[in-house]
Structure 1
Amino acid sequence: MTAIHWFRRDLRLGDNPALHAAADEGDVVALYVLDPRLWAAAGAPRRAYLARSLAALDAQTGGRLLVRRGDPCDVVPSLAREVGASGVHVAASVEPYGRRRDGALERLLADEDVPLVRTGSPYAVTPGRVRNGSGNPYQVFTPFRRAWHEHGWRSPAPDAVATARRVAFADAGPGELVPDAPVPDGLELPTAGEAAALERWAEVLDDRVARYADERDRPDLDSTSRLSVPLKWGEIHPRTILADLASRRGEGAETFRSQIAWREFHADVLLHHPRAVRESMTPVVPEDAWATGAREQEAFDAWASGRTGYPLVDAGMRQLRHEGWMHNRVRMVVASFLVKDLHVRWQRGADHFMAWLVDGDVPQNQLNWQWVAGTGRDAAPYFRIFNPVTQGTRFDPDGRYVRRWVPELRDVPGRAVHEPWKLPRSAAPDYPERLVDHARERAVSLGAYQSMR
């Protein structure tokens, strides 16, 4: 018998229980569907990375990854008929689009007497399973984290080497070549694929985890894992990470585990509130508080190009354009600046991030933006406003991060780099003046918030 394993957000062989479930039925057709809707929405950096990850996966399957382009509701049933598939195996999708697509596909496959078999998900605990004592989903992170940890998760499935020995990949005939999506000019992508992800995690586990609690907020240090990219594409599963962390003690390991829990919390929230992809879960300011027209566009363009006059904000936005990635502390600062200093709706910022982030992931991106905007499921309200200067002096104390990404300020010494407007203009003649005054715009945001109470 032959089964189809449809790779989606699990671009790996190791720790892939859905792939093993397919292998239990016989030979496996390894399928990836280039969904035009998702391909167009991905943004050039993510498309380029995906192409390289698929190439790595194709090599792992011995060149037998079948790539087909089209609506999965057309492609998958057609292939099932071609190969006489006994089943189509997937890791469950929990995002709004994926759930609708899989529901429609399941009905179509049922007409062919072919089951759509869901095994596992991209999360250690599949969203929807963690509930409070009343059987309702959690609304706040801290109690969710406790319940999530108490719920626990399965041990990892066999690794890539063991999987490759066990799974017989079938040649299903002609498909498309793995796409060669170009890398945008000036963008440096990390190495894609399962092997690179596992190598990165091994380095982090051996070196960075112990320092993680103390250094994770420092963009000037290489102390974060950068695993958000392989986690997004499923080149590594969070269960693998959690299994390795179980043998580690200390605040660093616990803080790292909490970051995995945040990822799972956001997926859980979006499962129960699918409209949060575009809608604020809690409106916090009147509609007339938002910038509009030319004023909004000018502010947004300056922010997106890293020309606001606030060094930490500009460094982050330039890093995004160069790496398709941004340090998490800086993501919070630049998001707060857009929403609460420039008064631009969070949705515009979220869209920009999704266009440029290689790790752009709907639950994490949209819910993190709502967290910063104060509109999401969080105990802290709208008046959380990040000061871009104090954030810079605290987390980039010597200015190394700013100087790396903002060359106009490379000759400015020490912490002065975070307040260049206090220096003579000759100290940084090519750096823009401040777009707005933070203290004034903070007061405007707080006034708008109070008017809704």
Structure 2
Amino acid sequence: MSAALVWFRRDLRDHDHAALYHALKAHTQVYCAFVFDRAILDALPSRRDRRVEFIHASLIELDAALRARGGGLIVRHADAREAIPPLALELGASAVYANHDYEPAALARDDAVRGALGAAGLAFHTFKDQVIFEKSEVLTGAGKPFSVFTPYRNAWRKALTPFHLKAYPVERYAAHLAAPPAASIPSLAELGFAPSNLAELKLPCGMRGARQLFDDFRQRIADYGRARDFPAVKGVSYLSIHLRFGTISIRELARFAQEQANEGAEVWLNELIWRDFYQQVLWYRPDVVTQSFRSEYDAVQWEEGEAAERLFAAWCEARTGYPIVDAAMRQLNQTGWMHNRLRMVVASFLTKDLGIHWLRGERYFADTLNDYDLAANNGGWQWAASTGCDAQPWFRIFNPVTQSQRFDAQGRFIRRYLPELADLPDKLIHEPWLMSAIDQSAYRCTLGRDYPKPIVDHAAARERTLARFKAVRPTGD
């Protein structure tokens, strides 16, 4: 009998799972494990992190699902680099199986594990699972990675075959799952964490949660192209956290989108392709984690000093005086999620209105987003800051007022997260600073007390941004 260990990471499901399938097919005893990695958890800024609670709930469900198949989940709280090799030896495994991770820190971790396993005579096998195409699978005609999305998307679509969307039939070899030694999943308290407001938010966790959300979205996908830009409308899939932690298969989602004959599904498939695109960018250009994709924009002179710190704090704390920005930041701070249109708006505001380095916003999102994914988050921030691949041109600057008027015309989203503005009429809710003293009294909202005055003038900030980029822009740009 040959034994193997499957190391779960961003793939918390018991079906259509590449590493699990290959391990079950090749071995007669397959153990499953997850590590709450101290290298990650100890660096988190809050002990009430919604992501840790989401993972914890998802692992409980995954363990039950594996036990129903005859297996189970071994859960450790340790440095993964130090935990996986001795666990494999303890179980008598000849190999460890896992799915690819593309982030620089994860690659370094996997290299360390591979080295330790190799020194002990054990193999380490990894597989593509969280994307449809990875690394060098979609390249230009010259054999180089794409730096613009549209031609990448076209090449992606051309390369796609039914094989790439085929599910891995884990159930075919499920009898090879091995029951783990007596063990239990540590509680949140044992991990050093406390419950967040996840239950209050009613965020569905685990595979069943993903299925619930997907089944609901399937009924709405035809309208996705129109509805997705309006934050007060139930227009998006809400599956981002499930894609991030793999409680649903990207192949299943892409296959469904591919099979639909409507514009909404086509637009949604493009969003899934963006995920692959940004993963390829990160694979070829890991320096984008701290530097601009377009290196010439590393010379941009961003605002620094005490004044910039005050502006950054106001942005983080939803005190900018621009309702659509503040409502979006409250949504993020209260729920750990932000509507995609608003991610662009607040990122543009931080970099183009306040003149603060995109990296500071990217890191704030990394600390607060439930669905934080380094590749997509970095790509989105660099797009908004005009420093990245396929970026918004530096001279196109979102106007927070017109964005608000266009995508939340009746102020429904603003009123939800800024109840202090609830009584304002539609014509003033996007620009409350236009209220007269009589208006402020009538609508029970005193500027500077109940709601802040704008911390920056958009028109003046726009001119500063244009000058900031003109000073470093390449010839002909």
Q: TM-score, normalised by structure 2?
A: 0.90
Where does 1:287-366 land on structure 2 (aligned, <5 Å)?
289-366=301-378
Task: Check the 8 A contact 2:165/2:254 in 1, yes or no.
Answer: no
Task: Check the 8 A contact 2:63/2:73 in 1, yes or no.
Answer: yes
User: How far did 1:90 drift?
Assistant: 0.6
Q: Name which of 424, 432, 438 aligns with 2:452.
A: 432
Paired with 2:297 and 2:285, the residues of 1 have a C-alpha distance of 21
> What is residue 23 of structure 2 aligned with on the other side?
22
- Indicate the SS of the match to 1:244: helix
User: How far did 1:240 drift?
Assistant: 0.7
Paired with 1:108 and 1:17, the residues of 2 have a C-alpha distance of 23
Paired with 1:267 and 1:214, the residues of 2 have a C-alpha distance of 27
> What is residue 70 of structure 1 aligned with on the other side?
78
Task: Check the 8 A contact 1:284/1:382 in 2, yes or no.
Answer: no
Q: Name which of 201, 206, 209 aligns with 1:193.
A: 206
- Change in 2 beyond 3 A, CA 1:252/1:56: same
Q: Name which of 274, 296, 314 aligns with 1:262.
A: 274
Where does 1:404-443 land on structure 2 (aligned, <5 Å)?
404-424=416-436, 425-426=440-441, 427=443, 428-429=445-446, 430-443=450-463
- Change in 2 beyond 3 A, CA 1:210/1:167: farther
Pairing 1:155–2:157 present: no
Paired with 1:178 and 1:16, the residues of 2 have a C-alpha distance of 26
The residue identity in structure 2 corresponding to 1:444 is R
Pairing 1:37–2:39 present: yes
User: How far did 1:416 drift?
Assistant: 2.2
Task: Check the 8 A contact 1:399/1:415 in 2, yes or no.
Answer: no
> What is residue 250 of structure 2 aligned with on the other side?
238
- Indicate the SS of the match to 1:86: strand
Paired with 1:216 and 1:349, the residues of 2 have a C-alpha distance of 23
Paired with 1:290 and 1:241, the residues of 2 have a C-alpha distance of 40
- Change in 2 beyond 3 A, CA 1:189/1:38: farther
Pairing 1:105–2:113 present: yes
> What is residue 131 of structure 1 aligned with on the other side?
139
Paired with 2:138 and 2:174, the residues of 1 have a C-alpha distance of 35
Task: Check the 8 A contact 1:45/1:324 in 2, yes or no.
Answer: yes
The residue identity in structure 2 corresponding to 1:137 is P
Paired with 1:355 and 1:174, the residues of 2 have a C-alpha distance of 31
The residue identity in structure 2 corresponding to 1:171 is P
User: How far did 1:29 drift?
Assistant: 1.1
Which 10-residue stretch deviates more, 288-297 or 327-336? Answer: 288-297
User: How far did 1:238 drift?
Assistant: 1.3
> What is residue 146 of structure 1 aligned with on the other side?
154
Task: Check the 8 A contact 1:68/1:175 in 2, yes or no.
Answer: no
Task: Check the 8 A contact 2:289/2:378 in 1, yes or no.
Answer: yes
> What is residue 394 of structure 2 aligned with on the other side?
382
User: How far did 1:77 drift?
Assistant: 1.0
Q: CA deviation digits over 1:370-400, x for unaligned, max 9?
A: 1111111115422231111000110111110
> What is residue 372 of structure 1 aligned with on the other side?
384
User: How far did 1:83 drift?
Assistant: 1.0
- Change in 2 beyond 3 A, CA 1:80/1:443: same
Pairing 1:179–2:181 present: no
- Change in 2 beyond 3 A, CA 1:111/1:52: same
- Change in 2 beyond 3 A, CA 1:288/1:107: closer
Which 10-residue stretch deviates more, 406-415 or 179-188? Answer: 179-188
Q: How many residues are matched?
A: 451
The residue identity in structure 2 corresponding to 1:359 is D
Q: TM-score, normalised by structure 1?
A: 0.95
Paired with 2:201 and 2:135, the residues of 1 have a C-alpha distance of 33
Task: Check the 8 A contact 1:27/1:167 in 2, yes or no.
Answer: yes
> What is residue 394 of structure 1 aligned with on the other side?
406
Paired with 1:402 and 1:440, the residues of 2 have a C-alpha distance of 25
- Change in 2 beyond 3 A, CA 1:421/1:39: same
Task: Check the 8 A contact 2:302/2:357 in 1, yes or no.
Answer: yes
- Indicate the SS of the match to 1:154: helix
Which 10-residue stretch deviates more, 308-317 or 409-418? Answer: 409-418
Q: Name which of 215, 220, 237 aligns with 1:225.
A: 237
Which 10-residue stretch deviates more, 209-218 or 70-79? Answer: 70-79
Paired with 1:284 and 1:337, the residues of 2 have a C-alpha distance of 22
The residue identity in structure 1 corresponding to 2:231 is P
Q: CA deviation digits over 1:126-175, x for unaligned, max 9?
A: 23321111111111111111111222252342578x37954523213446
Structure 2: runs of 5+ lacking an equivalent: none
Q: CA deviation digits over 1:44-96, x for unaligned, max 9?
A: 22222222222222222228211112222221110111111021111111111
Task: Check the 8 A contact 1:372/1:384 in 2, yes or no.
Answer: no
The residue identity in structure 1 corresponding to 2:64 is A
Q: Name which of 40, 50, 56 aligns with 1:51.
A: 56
Paired with 1:157 and 1:11, the residues of 2 have a C-alpha distance of 15
Paired with 2:228 and 2:254, the residues of 1 have a C-alpha distance of 18
Which 10-residue stretch deviates more, 427-436 or 59-68? Answer: 59-68
Pairing 1:253–2:253 present: no
- Change in 2 beyond 3 A, CA 1:345/1:252: same
User: How far did 1:36 drift?
Assistant: 1.0
Task: Check the 8 A contact 1:128/1:271 in 2, yes or no.
Answer: no
Q: CA deviation digits over 1:251-280, x for unaligned, max 9?
A: 111100000011110010000000111111
Task: Check the 8 A contact 1:11/1:57 in 2, yes or no.
Answer: yes
Paired with 2:359 and 2:418, the residues of 1 have a C-alpha distance of 26
- Indicate the SS of the match to 2:32: strand
Task: Check the 8 A contact 2:231/2:407 in 1, yes or no.
Answer: yes
The residue identity in structure 2 corresponding to 1:441 is A
User: How far did 1:423 drift?
Assistant: 1.4
Structure 1: runs of 5+ lacking an equivalent: none
User: How far did 1:124 drift?
Assistant: 1.4
- Change in 2 beyond 3 A, CA 1:337/1:283: farther
The residue identity in structure 2 corresponding to 1:190 is L
